[in-house]
Amino acid sequence: MCCLDGSPVDGDERNQYNAREWETDMWHAPCNNFGACCVACVCPCCCTMHLRNKALQEDMTKYQCCQRLICPKVGECCSSCEKDCPCVTLCMEAFFCECFAISATRMYVQMERQIVTDPCDNRIIRLNNMIQILACICQILAMFDSSFQACAEIMNFIADVVYAIVSSCMQAQTHLELKLHPTAADYEGGAAPPIKQQPLAQPQGRTVAAAGGRSPQGGYPQQHQGYP
């Protein structure tokens, strides 16, 4: 994993975030927040819904599909449902677009509080995306050559395990941040100066409609230094 690049994406305006760091990086999240990591691994969708509610300070009038941080144009199709039935829409998002929902909550918290992404977090996420892509390639090869079938099944299993671990670490990281600092004003020195939230581009790498309701391969949108 050390051979993977941990640097941010060049030109992204979220690179300016330098107000504070995460309470824990994803690598140490299982040790620093073991209980939440286990819950996120066993019940990822329920954990996703809980964290989004906490990130919005239990004010569902702020809710938007993926908070318009991922596929904003597609999310606009849910605008009427968001307003009339935000809890139901969040449930649908968590179960059918789990990976995007997890990333969106983490990104929302990071952007609201101007938290710098640890380079190791970028490496972990890029490792996950790389494995998902390899699994997808093996599945495609197996469609044309049956000799790749065993390899495809093994890679698919590895990809699922890696996704489960990475998503659990990501949720444990977000949970600890919200647990210690329920709002952006709960940090020493108060809230960071506001920065206008900008939608992210279409995510790269192994696309998911999420685990639990995942598409064939579940990966995360590319994370940015200060944007994961």
Per residue in 2-33, pLDDT tens? 566 666 666 655 567 776 899 999 999 999 99
Question: Which CA distances in Å does 105 have to 5, 55, 59, 90?
Answer: 24, 7, 14, 11
Residue 76 carries which side chain, given as an amino acid letter?
E
- Average pLDDT, integer, range 209-226: 48
CB 53 within 8 A of CB 105: no
* Structure tokens, 214: 């995942």
CB 45 within 8 A of CB 164: no
Over the stretch 74-120, which tens digit does the pLDDT of each residue have? 878 878 788 889 999 999 999 999 999 999 999 999 989 888 888 89
Cα–Cα distance, 157 to 172 (Å, whole number) = 23
CB atoms within 10 A of CB 189: 8
Within 8 A by CB and 6+ apart from 25, the residues are 118, 120, 121, 173
Is the pTM here over 0.75, yes or no?
A: yes
